[in-house]
């Protein structure tokens, strides 16, 4: 509950300071229509470490990617899926999703991380290929 006002504050700072426009223009300047969903995927994977909530991440990153997609003429749904895939990818190495399962089974998080890391790598490769092909 505490983190959502922080995400709203980040979003407000980005919009009111013009930082969102700077990020959008920077993303457009280095992207192509093929690369934008992949850049969205990679940036979402990194941002997920700092904004681990999917809704908070969408509030911070969504407007930037949608605007960039519209200006480049890229499929907005494909770009949004890149963001969603990147958000999900790094959840494999921050296993908040596994806390109930770990508590029930008595398994320590450090014992599942090698497996989830491999899943993250394989999933990342598959996601980039899918974003490139489709």
Token pair of 85 as six digits: 């895939």
Overall average pLDDT of the 21-45 stretch: 93
Q: How does pLDDT run across 71-118, given as a tens digit for each residue?
A: 999 999 999 999 999 999 999 998 788 999 999 999 999 999 999 999
- How many structural domains compose the chain? 1
Candidates 62, 91, 88, 74; CA nearest to 35 is 74
Structural domain harbouring 30: 2-133
């Amino acid at each position: 509950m505490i983190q959502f006002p922080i995400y709203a504050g980040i979003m407000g700072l980005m919009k009111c300071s013009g930082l969102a426009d700077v990020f959008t223009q920077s993303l457009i300047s280095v992207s192509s229509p093929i690369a934008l969903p992949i850049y969205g995927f990679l940036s979402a994977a990194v941002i997920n470490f700092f904004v681990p909530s999917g809704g908070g991440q969408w509030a911070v990153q969504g407007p930037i990617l949608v605007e960039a997609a519209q200006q480049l003429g890229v499929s907005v749904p494909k770009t949004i899926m890149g963001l969603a895939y990147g958000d999900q990818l790094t959840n494999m190495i921050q296993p908040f999703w596994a806390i109930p399962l770990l508590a029930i089974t008595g398994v320590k998080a450090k014992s599942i991380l090698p497996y989830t890391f491999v899943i993250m790598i394989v999933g990342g490769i598959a996601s980039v290929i899918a974003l490139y092909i489709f």
